[in-house]
Amino acid sequence: MHRSTPVRRNLGRELARRSQALEPLVRGRIVGDGLAGHAAGAPYDRTVATCGIVDLPPSWIEQTRPGGVILATLGGWMYSSELARLTVHEDGTASGRFLGGPISFMLARPQQPPRLGVLPDLDQGDEHPALLGADALNDWNTRFVAQLAAPRTQRITLDRDGRTEHVLIDVNAGSWAALTETDGAWTVRQGGPDRIWDAIEDHVNRWREHGAPELDRFTVSGR
């Protein structure tokens, strides 16, 4: 089964109208929320998603037969993503690996990040030297590993008081981190209930201690 996720009603209608021209080539077409799947036609041998996701919908696993395959692009709100191939098991779980190599689809609309709104007071918070600089996130694989620690963190850059600040914000949790560089040394300030950058440093440094394996060495599972 092929999944797309137009959730705006008028967009779904337009998609249906335009796809009528493909009717001779299409075995079946369902207009609806792709994250919910289509239980009436289940179980499916294959579920292929042409949108990015942060969370694997349980409905995709439930509607794919045991032994069937799910292909989905998984990522986070810092926009590093990987294509995963998962096999569904008899116990209602699914597991597999990332296939390796950068790939990107627009996130499914219900899983897109919230608006940032009013930024927190970045002059507050706890400050200390950073073990990892914000420039590490320019690397696709490193940013993906960072997202494992903070999948719902957004990343922005600000020019403030004559310097560049690299800011990470988890809007829902109310946590943030702001990093600045001076003469090659990085400093981080953090606020809110979670220490975002501490968690990212821990994940990235442990990954590097193991030789920074390629992402196709990673396993992924869901239920």
Residue 67: both structure tokens together: 């032994």
| Separation of alpha carbons 135 and 83, rounded Å | 24
Q: Is the pLDDT of residue 8 over 70?
A: no
pLDDT computed for residue 32 by the predictor? 80
Residue type, 48: V
Q: What is the mean pLDDT of residues 17-29?
A: 58
pLDDT computed for residue 113 by the predictor? 96
pTM: 0.85
Chain region(s) in the chain for CATH 3.40.50.150: 2-112
Residue type, 45: D
Residue 158: both structure tokens together: 């600000």
pLDDT computed for residue 165 by the predictor? 96
Q: Classify 126-209 by CATH class.
A: alpha beta
DSSP state of 163: E
End-to-end CA distance of the chain: 18
pLDDT computed for residue 102 by the predictor? 85
pLDDT computed for residue 188 by the predictor? 98
Torsion of CA 209, 152, 92, 51, to 10 degrees: -110
Sheet holding 185-191, edge to edge: 126-129, 185-191, 175-182, 163-170, 154-160
Model confidence over 162-180: pLDDT tens digits? 899 999 999 999 999 999 9
Chain region(s) in the chain for CATH 3.30.160: 126-209
pLDDT computed for residue 101 by the predictor? 82
Q: Which of 104, 44, 37 is nearest to 76 (CA)?
A: 104
Model confidence over 31-77: pLDDT tens digits? 788 899 989 999 999 999 999 999 999 999 999 999 999 999 999 99
Model confidence over 85-138: pLDDT tens digits? 999 999 999 999 999 888 889 999 999 999 999 999 999 999 999 999 999 999
Measured CA distances, 184 to 103, 126, 180 (Å): 32, 20, 10
Residue 98: both structure tokens together: 């990332």
Q: Which of 147, 68, 75 is nearest to 108 (CA)?
A: 75
Check if the beta carbon of residue 193 is closer than 8 Å to that of residue 47: no
Measured CA distances, 4 to 33, 71, 108, 183 (Å): 8, 13, 8, 47
The architecture of the domain spanning 2-112 is 3-Layer(aba) Sandwich (3.40)
Q: Which of 202, 160, 207, 157 is nearest to 177 (CA)?
A: 157
Percent of residues, the chain, with pLDDT higher than 70: 87
Beta bridge partners of 127: 189
Model confidence over 196-219: pLDDT tens digits? 999 999 999 999 999 999 999 999
| Separation of alpha carbons 71 and 177, rounded Å | 33
Q: Is the pLDDT of residue 27 over 80?
A: no
Residue 148 CA to its chain's centroid (Å): 9
